[in-house]
Amino acid sequence: MDTQKVQSYMAQEQTQRVMLESLLNRLGELNAIGASLSSERDINRLLESILEAAKKITHADAGTLYLADATGQMLTFEILHNDSLNIRMGGTSGEPTTFFPIHLYMDGKPNHAMVVSHAALSGETVNIPDAYVAEGFDFSGTKNFDSKTGYRSRSFLAVPMRNHEHEIIGVLQLINAQDRVSGNVQQFSKDDQQLLESLASQAAIAITNRRLIQQMEDLFESFISLINTAIDDKSAYTGGHCARVPTLTMMLAEAASRSELGELKNFHLTDKDRYELKIAGLLHDCGKITTPVHVVDKATKLQTLYDRIELIDTRFEVLKRDAHIECLEGKITSAEYAARTQQLNSDRDFLRHCNVGTEKMQEAELARVCSIAQYQWIDAQGKTANFLSENELENLCIRAGTLTTTERKVINHHIEVTIKMLESLPWPTHLSRVPEYAGGHHERMDGKGYPKGLRREQMSVQARLMGIADIFEALTAKDRPYKAGKTLTESLTILGQFKENGHIDPELFEVFMREKVYLDYAHRFLSPEQIDKVNEADIPGYAP
C-alpha cells in the first residue's frame, strides 16, 4: 500500500514537473516573442508574428486578429490563420480578408452579442469551451463558416489588446486549443489565458509603437516632400530630378544587393538600410533650395531674367542701319553695303548658335566671338562702345554648357549646403549615414569630384550608386531648359565613358548594365522616342 502511495506521489510529482517545465518553456517563448515584436518594422509582418506567436504558446489551431478603426466604432478584420484548413488571409499572405468589420455599436447601443466586440467593449477576456452550446453570444457567423468549410469551431479565447495608455486597440481571438499529445480539441486553460493576456499586452504596445513610428516617418517624409516642392516651385526643372533620383537609386541598390560578384557580394540591404538610403535619396539635393533660380534655370549663355541675345540682335540691326546710311551718303558702295550686311547676318546667326550652348566650342569659334566683340556701335547714350560687354563676352565664350565658372561654383555649392543642412540634424542611429550618402553623389572614384575630393575606397557603396543615379537621370531628363533628354544609347555611352575615366564606380556600372536597371527605369520615366535599341557591345567600358 505504501509502495502504491509512493508511486502515485512520484507520478504526480513527475506530472507537475513536466507541467512546470512546459510553462517555463512557454514563458521563455513569450519573452523571446516580445523581443522580436519590438524590432519588427513592417506592420503586416508584425500582425502575422503576433497571431502566430499566440497560436504557438496556446497550441491553437486557428486565430484571428482585429484592430479598432480610427473612429473607435468598429473592429476591422486584419488577419486569419487556420492550420487545419490551410487558410491564410491578410498580413503578408497576399489574400485579402473577406469578412466584414464588426460594429462595436448597433443603433447607438454597445454590441455585446459578438465575442470580439464584447471583449473590446468590456476590456475582459472571453474563454468559451464550446461555441455550439455557449449562451449569450451570437455564433451564427461561425456556424455558417463551419457549414461551408466542414470545420468545427469549438473552443474560443478572445483577449482585448490594451496599449500603454489603457486604450483597447484590437482583439486577439484564438480558436480550438489542441492537446499537445493527442491533438484533441479542448478548452483553453487558465495558463493559456494568462499567457495570451500577457502577449496581447506586449502586442498592443508593439502595434502602437509601430504606428507612432510610422506616423513620425510619414510626417518626416512629408516635410522632405515640402522641401522638394519648394525647390520644384522655384524651378520646375529640378522638381522631377528630386523625385526620380531616389527611385533610380533604390532600383540600382536592389540590383547591387542581388549581385554575387566582386565586392558587391558582401553588399546586402536590410529594411533599415533601404529606408536610410531612401531618405538620403529624397534629400540628396535639398541644398538647392538656396541656389538662385536664374542660375538653375539658365537655358542659354546670355539668359538672366530674360535672354539677352535679343539685345545683341538689336545692335546688329543698328549696325546694318548705319551701313545703309553710309551707302546712301556715298561713303560705301552698294557692293560693300551688301557684303557688310551679309557678314553681320552671318555673325548674328553665329552668336545665336553659340548662345544655345549645346556643343563644345572650338578655339576658332572662341576667336570669332572675340573678334565680333570688338565691333563698334553707338549705344543708347550716344557713346561709342564695344559691340559686346565684358559680361556678354564671358558668357558667349563658355566652352560647354550655359554656365560661367562663377555660376558653376554657385551650382556646385548646393552640395556643400546639402551636407551642412543634413549634418546639423540630430539623426537617430538608423539614419546616421544619411548625410554621407546624400553628400557623396558628386564625388568621383579617382578623387577629382567635389566637395571633398573623396576616392572610391573612402566612399560607401550607397554614395557611389547614388552618383550613378544622379548622372543617368540628368542625362535622360527631358525637362531641362538647356537640353533635350538623351536616348538610352547616348546616355549609356556617356556613362560608359565616365566609367573608363574614373568618374563612376566600375562594379556598380556593371550591375547597372547587366541587370538592365537602365531599361526598367526607362520604361517608367523616359519618352518612347528615347528608348532606342541598345547594342550593349558598343557601350564603352562594358563587355556583355
pLDDT at position 465 is 94
Is the Cβ–Cβ distance between 427 and 222 less than 8 Å?
no
pLDDT at position 154 is 96
Rounded to an integer, the average pLDDT of 386-413 is: 89
Is the pLDDT higher at 75 or at 38? 75
Report the distance separating Cα 443 and Cα 428, nearest Å: 25
pLDDT at position 201 is 86
pLDDT of 402 higher than 90: no
pLDDT of 538 higher than 90: yes
Mean pLDDT value across the chain: 88
Rounded to an integer, the average pLDDT of 54-69 is: 93
Q: CA-CA distances (angstroms) from residue 144 to 80, 147, 152? A: 16, 5, 11
DSSP string for residues in 105-140: EETTEE--SSHHHHHHHH---EEES-TTT--SS--H
Please identify which residue in the block is written with the cell numbers 484571428: 64
Within 40-122, residue ranges assigned H as helices are 43-58, 115-122
Q: Which residues contact 269 (CB under 8 A, 6 or more apart)?
A: 253, 254, 257, 277
- What's the one-letter identity of residue 70? A
DSSP code, position 93: S
Please identify which residue in the block is written with the cell numbers 563658355: 398
Per-residue pLDDT tens for 259-296? 988 889 899 999 899 999 999 999 998 888 888 877 87
pLDDT of 352 higher than 90: yes
Per-residue pLDDT tens for 502-524? 999 999 999 999 999 999 999 99
Is the pLDDT higher at 492 or at 299? 492
pLDDT at position 227 is 84
- What's the one-letter identity of residue 476? T
pLDDT at position 410 is 85
What ranges do the domains of the chain cover?
Answer: 25-212, 235-295+406-538, 309-394
| Predicted confidence band of residue 152 (pLDDT cuts 50, 70, 90) | very high
Is the pLDDT higher at 544 or at 458? 458
Q: CA-CA distances (angstroms) from residue 373 to 129, 158, 389? A: 99, 88, 8
Q: Taking the alpha carbons of 20, 22, 23, 25 in that order, is the dihedral positive or negative? A: positive
**Crossing angle for the helix pair 488-500 and 506-514, nearest 10 degrees?**
150
Per-residue pLDDT tens for 159-174? 999 988 888 999 999 9
| Predicted confidence band of residue 115 (pLDDT cuts 50, 70, 90) | very high
**Residues 299, 477, 269, CA angle at the centre, nearest 5°?**
135
Nearest to 63 by CA among 165, 161, 176: 176
Per-residue pLDDT tens for 197-233? 988 888 888 888 888 888 898 999 898 888 888 777 7
DSSP code, position 461: H
Per-residue pLDDT tens for 311-347? 999 999 999 999 999 999 999 999 999 999 999 999 9
pLDDT of 19 higher than 70: no
Is-cis flag, bond preceding 101, omega within 30?
A: no
Nearest to 119 by CA among 49, 179, 193, 51: 193
**Residues 276, 281, 282, CA angle at the centre, nearest 5°?**
100
pLDDT of 407 higher than 90: no
Please identify which residue in the block is written with the cell numbers 466586440: 117
Nearest to 206 by CA among 424, 405, 1, 54: 54
pLDDT at position 260 is 87
Range name among 23-37, 336-350, 481-495 with the lowest pLDDT average: 23-37
Q: Looking at the domain covering 235-295+406-538, what would its CATH class be?
A: mainly alpha
Is the pLDDT higher at 235 or at 351? 351
pLDDT of 87 higher than 70: yes
Please identify which residue in the block is written with the cell numbers 530630378: 241
Phi, psi (5° rounding) for residue 88?
-135, 120
Phi, psi (5° rounding) for residue 62?
-150, 165
Q: What is the CATH number of domain 25-212?
A: 3.30.450.40
Is the Cβ–Cβ distance between 319 and 344 less than 8 Å?
yes
Question: How many CA atoms within 13 Å lie on the side-chain side of 333?
Answer: 3
- What's the one-letter identity of residue 95? E
Stated length of the chain: 544
Q: Which residues contact 94 (CB under 8 A, 6 or more apart)?
A: none
pLDDT of 29 higher than 70: no
Long-range contacts of 305-312 (CB under 8 A, 24+ apart): 307/355, 308/392, 309/351, 309/352, 309/355, 312/348, 312/351, 312/387, 312/388, 312/392
| Predicted confidence band of residue 191 (pLDDT cuts 50, 70, 90) | confident
pLDDT at position 174 is 96
Rounded to an integer, the average pLDDT of 50-55 is: 89
Please identify which residue in the block is written with the cell numbers 520604361: 523
DSSP code, position 437: H
* Grid cell for residue 413: 555649392
Rounded to an integer, the average pLDDT of 411-428 is: 90
pLDDT at position 446 is 95
* Grid cell for residue 16: 507537475
CA gyration radius, the chain: 36
pLDDT of 179 higher than 70: yes
Nearest to 204 by CA among 158, 168, 175, 156: 168
Q: CA-CA distances (angstroms) from residue 404 to 374, 456, 474? A: 21, 29, 19
